[in-house]
């Protein structure tokens, strides 16, 4: 099973990714988490990525693509994976297509969580108080939303055109959203 979960910052991708990955027994691969782990460890990748992340900008494609390629080459991703936060640009879509084709597999579905803009700014500001992420300040949150709208929202149409899109309303209780996701995934044509 090879899946992507997409949606604006604060839509609840990371939260839902855990349930989906558990269900299909595949690793949830979050590019944001991998970048943050590198920032914490002070690696070269982390130092480079942090400059962009703190400003709410995307890390350059070459850096991100290489990181994902290395991650999905690991043995636990052989049977499949759920990508959270990748691809985010059209260039990343192409790169991912190449990576998956190379292994002789195909993408099974793209879950898109839709969310109300004001509601998600509120969620992120709330999260800032508990998790203290450096990029959860109001200005940076607004910038992340702009970048999402400019660079990532167009990807939805690309995947819709391929018949892979599973659009799910991300508003409401966590369990309710999870239920909607599984119902929508069940409705995907069998691979
Ligand atoms: P959110 O979806 O809430 O913005 P993430 O944890 O997914 O948070 O990502 C945090 C930051 O990591 C992004 O703002 C960006 O700087 C960087 N990042 C994550 N994934 C990518 C990607 N695919 N391409 C470029 N940058 C990325």
CA distances from 80 to 17, 91, 93, 176 (A): 14, 22, 17, 25
CA distances from 15 to 6, 9, 20, 150 (A): 12, 12, 9, 24
| Ligand 1 atom nearest 92 alpha carbon | 23
Q: Is 8 in the pocket of ligand 1 (CB under 6 A)?
A: no
Q: Which of 49, 57, 59, 99 to mutate to test the pocket of ligand 1 (most atoms within 8 A of CB)?
A: 59
Q: Which of 36, 71, 144, 180 is catalytic?
A: 144
Confidence of residue 101 (pLDDT cuts 50, 70, 90): very high
How close is the Cα of 2 to the center of ligand 1, in Å? 20
Active site residue 133: yes
pLDDT surpasses 60 at 31 = yes
Confidence of residue 189 (pLDDT cuts 50, 70, 90): confident
Cβ(125)–Cβ(136) below 8 Å: yes
Per-residue pLDDT of 136-183, as tens digits, reads: 899 999 999 999 999 999 999 999 999 999 999 999 999 999 999 999
pLDDT surpasses 90 at 132 = no
Question: Region 122-142: what's the mean pLDDT?
Answer: 89
Q: Is 109 in the pocket of ligand 1 (CB under 6 A)?
A: no
What domains are there in the chain, each with its CATH number?
Answer: 2-186 (3.40.50.300)
Cβ(5)–Cβ(13) below 8 Å: yes
Active site residue 13: yes
Q: Which of 69, 127, 142, 143 is catalytic?
A: 127
Q: CA-CA distance, 120 to 38, in Å (whole number)? A: 26
Region of 189 (left: φ > 0; alpha: ψ -120 to 50; beta: rest) is beta
Q: CA-CA distance, 99 to 81, in Å (whole number)? A: 13
Active site residue 2: no
Instruction: Output the residue whose Cα is nearest ligand 1's atom 2.
Output: 9
Please classify residue 55 by burial: count the beta carbons closer than 10 Å to its beta carbon, then call 0-12 exposed, 13-18 middle and 19+ buried: middle
Confidence of residue 191 (pLDDT cuts 50, 70, 90): low
Cβ(156)–Cβ(165) below 8 Å: yes
Active site residue 117: no
Q: CA-CA distance, 82 to 166, in Å (whole number)? A: 14
Q: Which of 13, 36, 123, 180 is catalytic?
A: 13
Per-residue pLDDT of 49-76, as tens digits, reads: 999 999 999 999 999 999 999 999 999 9
Question: Region 69-95: what's the mean pLDDT?
Answer: 97
């Amino acid at each position: 099973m090879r899946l992507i979960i997409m949606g604006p910052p604060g839509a609840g991708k990371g939260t839902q990714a855990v349930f989906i990955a558990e269900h299909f027994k595949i690793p949830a691969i979050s590019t944001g988490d991998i970048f943050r782990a590198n920032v914490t460890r002070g690696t070269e990748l982390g130092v480079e990525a942090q400059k962009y992340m703190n400003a709410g900008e995307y890390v350059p494609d070459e850096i991100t693509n290489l990181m994902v390629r290395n991650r999905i080459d690991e043995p636990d991703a052989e049977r499949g994976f759920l990508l959270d936060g990748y691809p985010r640009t059209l260039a990343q879509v192409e790169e991912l297509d190449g990576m998956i084709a190379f292994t002789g597999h195909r993408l099974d579905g793209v879950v898109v969580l839709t969310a109300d803009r004001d509601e998600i700014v509120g969620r992120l500001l709330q999260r800032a108080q508990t998790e203290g992420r450096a990029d959860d300040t109001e200005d940076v949150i607004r910038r992340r939303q702009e970048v999402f709208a400019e660079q990532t929202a167009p990807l939805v149409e690309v995947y819709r055109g391929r018949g892979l899109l599973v659009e799910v309303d991300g508003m409401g209780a966590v369990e309710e959203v999870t239920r909607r996701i599984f119902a929508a995934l069940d409705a995907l044509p069998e691979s």
